[in-house]
Amino acid sequence: MFGDEQMKIYYIGLSKMNEKIHFIFMGKPSAGKGTSGQLIAKLHDLVEVSTGEALREIAQSGTPLGEKVEKIISTGNLVDDELITEILKQKLDSINKGIILDGYPRDITQAKTLENFFKVDYVIYFDAEDDVVINRITGRRTCPKCGKIYHIVTIKPKVDGICDVCGSILKTREDDTEEVMIKRLANYREKTEPVIDFYKQKGLLKVFNANPAFPDLKDDLINFFDELINKVREK
């Protein structure tokens, strides 16, 4: 039997292992990484990190690095790879919990760089067909006032074309077209798909079927992560 003291040490051990779980979420644009990440992070007390958000955060920080980034973004320029990596490394180092990394690495060069400063436990590939993600985007309607997102088939508002929350008329965002999506998918195929093979060869890749719409895949998603996280704890 465990005494109180051993029990305490045992639980501290468990929570420490849990803290260290590092996931990378990968998949086509609109494969559901963001929505899934929010749910899983909440359930397992993980921190979601995306490069976009890390950049916005640092730009507002008022530090010398932040001012540099702010200047680049406000002049409409792209932040180069080296700087993104530096910011990401700072962000990841500052987190003392399990992490879900989303939006990085986008290509093989970034994947190799990441190996220098981030231990990866699992890479989750949100596997969805092209026509599924294209339908998700072209059917998406956004509230221009409060930002709430709907879908003409899967997340209908109570009244057609009207936001449930604020009553505004829903709009299709300019980028939410089949044409833009096909371009994004081509770019993804060329640059990001090789990263999936890279992790597969390392034995880190787990595939999750992301074809169903979010409400329907919620239970599968929860079970999938429960199993993975238990496995890491048992290691």
Q: Least distance (Å) from Zn ion to the CB of residue 165?
A: 4
Q: What is the Cα–Cα distance from 214 to 218, expressed in whole angstroms?
A: 6
Binds Zn ion by CB under 5 A, chosen from 31, 143, 217, 228: 143
Establish if 170 lies at the interface with Zn ion (CB under 5 A). no
Binds Zn ion by CB under 5 A, chosen from 14, 149, 153, 165: 165
Establish if 159 lies at the interface with Zn ion (CB under 5 A). no
Number of residues assigned to the chain: 235
Q: Least distance (Å) from Zn ion to the CB of residue 168?
A: 5
Establish if 149 lies at the interface with Zn ion (CB under 5 A). no
Q: Which of 33, 91, 136, 141 is catalytic?
A: 33
173 is catalytic: yes
Establish if 146 lies at the interface with Zn ion (CB under 5 A). yes
Establish if 163 lies at the interface with Zn ion (CB under 5 A). yes
Tokens 């990263």 map to which residue? 195
Size of the site for Zn ion (CB under 5 A): 8
Interaction pattern, residues 75-104, with Zn ion; x per rule: CB under 5 A = ------------------------------
Classify strands 149-151 and 205-209 as parallel, antiparallel or unpaired: unpaired
Establish if 195 lies at the interface with Zn ion (CB under 5 A). no
Nearer to Zn ion, 9 or 165 (CB): 165
33 is catalytic: yes
Q: Least distance (Å) from Zn ion to the CB of residue 162?
A: 9
Q: Least distance (Å) from Zn ion to the CB of residue 155?
A: 13
140 is catalytic: yes
Establish if 166 lies at the interface with Zn ion (CB under 5 A). yes
How far separated are the first and last CA of the chain, in Å rounded?
A: 22
Q: Which of 106, 171, 206, 218 is catalytic?
A: 106
The catalytic residue positions are 33, 106, 140, 173, 184
Binding site for Zn ion (CB under 5 A): 143, 145-146, 148, 163, 165-166, 168
